[in-house]
Amino acid sequence: MLIKKRPDLAEHQVTDETLYHARRDFLARCGHLTCLSLFGGLLGCGDEASSATQTPQWLSDQLAQAQPPQPAFTTDETRTPFEDVTRYNNFYEFGSDKGDPARHSDRFKPHPWSVVVEGACQKPGRYALEDLVKPHRLEERIYRLRCVEAWSMVVPWVGLPLASLLRRFEPDSRARFVRFETLFDPQQMPGQAATFAAIDYPYVEGLRIDEAMHPLAFIAVGLYGKPLPAQNGAPLRLVVPWKYGFKSIKSIVRIEFVETQPLTTWERSAPSEYGFYANVNPAVDHPRWSQKSERRLPGSLFSPRVIPTRPFNGYEEVASLYSGMDLRRLF
Ligand code: MTE
């Protein structure tokens, strides 16, 4: 997302430039990985160990019993194939090339896992994943995912409403925002160990409390009926379908109820390019590219499926959350 794009460049030229930078990044990281492998013996490439094999039985059982999507939470648009959803990722903790998260996450351990809940609520504490997920009947939701980079997918997530989870911690009246944090563990996440990391870690995101409580906001623990792969944010991630994908923070380890708007990773990194609200909005271009349309995946470089981008990514029912706000200024 930090790659400079000149407005006079065609899409395929931009892709080339992205790949160019990503490759340089990747080579730099590989040098670093080699050192860690030699001295620490912890990291390596090429074996078939997979985070999916560590899935606990209770989670497999719950995924198997997930409810089909309710009409309000699905779409008849063609689902993006599993291979594309799990091979074309943004998860900078594993590298900035779209293939890096799948390539470099095979040693990532999503189990056991716990999440610290703190701040303005009655039930703070450290909660095991099992305690967070088990009380909920999982459900499928087929959502569009629109990245700020102007590509999009349709993903069948499995999980639980964010509001149902948050209510269990009994947030009080001081809780005006919710702040989320991703795991920081450079031994498992090689992108965090890179000498020149693309962004500051841990990755931080946030929502206003009413956004977080909206029925569309979702916590995913699976996709395509399977446990969430590491590259998609195992074992639990946020999915906020009306916002650009960078709001949907992965591999969450901390949830904090706060009084003031949290400073989020991309806003901190480039405030003129990435705002806190980040609602999908075709009327507000990114300073370096248009947001009027998107490339629906899969598609090839030579026959991209370009479709118009819709306000709030087509989830207009959230518009009332922003009545009276200038969404050009609060982008
Ligand atoms: N969460 C963390 N921790 N690190 C990241 O780099 N990338 C974001 C978001 N969540 C990111 C993250 C971006 S830019 C997008 S578009 C989505 O994850 C992509 O989700 P996907 O790879 O499952 O499609």
Q: Are strands 226-227 and 237-239 parallel, antiparallel or unpaired?
A: unpaired
Q: Is any atom of ligand 1 closer than 6 Å to the C-beta of 265?
A: no
Ligand 1 centroid from CA 173, angstroms: 30
**Own/partner long-range contacts of 82-85 (Cβ < 8 Å, ≥24 apart):** 82/223, 82/224, 84/153, 84/297, 84/298, 85/153, 85/155, 85/223, 85/224, 85/232
Q: Is any atom of ligand 1 closer than 6 Å to the C-beta of 89?
A: yes
pLDDT at 53: 56
Nearest atom, ligand 1, residue 92 CA = 6
Q: Is any atom of ligand 1 closer than 6 Å to the C-beta of 247?
A: no
- Which residue minimizes the CA distance to atom 4 of ligand 1? 91
Ligand 1 centroid from CA 42, angstroms: 25
Nearest atom, ligand 1, residue 153 CA = 24
On the question of pLDDT at 182 being above 70, the answer is yes
- Establish how many alpha carbons lie within 13 A of residue 267's alpha carbon, considering only the half-sphere containing its beta carbon: 15
Ligand 1 centroid from CA 257, angstroms: 22
Q: Is any atom of ligand 1 closer than 6 Å to the C-beta of 312?
A: no
pLDDT at 238: 99
Q: Is any atom of ligand 1 closer than 6 Å to the C-beta of 152?
A: no
Q: Is any atom of ligand 1 closer than 6 Å to the C-beta of 91?
A: yes
Give backbone dihedrals phi and psi of 55, rounded to 5 degrees, phi first. -60, 125
Of 189, 205, 196, 173, the C-alpha closest to 110 is 189
Q: Is any atom of ligand 1 closer than 6 Å to the C-beta of 294?
A: no
Longest dimension (CA), the chain: 57
Give backbone dihedrals phi and psi of 202, rounded to 5 degrees, phi first. -70, 150
Average pLDDT over residues 95-103: 97
Nearest atom, ligand 1, residue 251 CA = 3
Q: For residue 248, what pLDDT band results from cuts at 50, 70 and 90?
A: very high
On the question of pLDDT at 6 being above 80, the answer is no
Separation CA 314–CA 167 (nearest Å): 27
On the question of pLDDT at 8 being above 70, the answer is no
Q: Is any atom of ligand 1 closer than 6 Å to the C-beta of 192?
A: no
Tokens encoding 231: 């590259």
For residue 293, what is the enclosing H or E element?
strand 293-296
Of 222, 135, 209, 218, the C-alpha closest to 179 is 209
Return the SS3 of 162: helix
CA angle 141, 330, 236 (to 5 degrees): 30
Ligand 1 centroid from CA 250, angstroms: 6
- Establish how many alpha carbons lie within 13 A of residue 95's alpha carbon, considering only the half-sphere containing its beta carbon: 27
- Which residue minimizes the CA distance to atom 21 of ligand 1? 89
For residue 205, what is the enclosing H or E element?
strand 204-208
Q: Is any atom of ligand 1 closer than 6 Å to the C-beta of 106?
A: no
Of 242, 280, 261, the C-alpha closest to 204 is 261
- pLDDT tens string 258-317: 999 999 999 999 999 999 999 999 999 999 999 999 999 998 888 899 999 999 999 999
Q: Is any atom of ligand 1 closer than 6 Å to the C-beta of 201?
A: no
Mutate to test the pocket of ligand 1, among 84, 90, 204, 265 (most ligand atoms within 8 A of CB): 90
Nearest atom, ligand 1, residue 149 CA = 16
CB 221 within 8 A of CB 238: no
Mutate to test the pocket of ligand 1, among 144, 182, 246 (most ligand atoms within 8 A of CB): 246
Separation CA 93–CA 329 (nearest Å): 30
- pLDDT tens string 102-155: 999 999 999 999 999 999 999 999 999 999 999 999 999 999 999 999 999 999
For residue 156, what is the enclosing H or E element?
strand 151-161
- Which residue minimizes the CA distance to atom 24 of ligand 1? 89
Average pLDDT over residues 53-77: 95
On the question of pLDDT at 12 being above 70, the answer is no
Ligand 1 centroid from CA 249, angstroms: 6
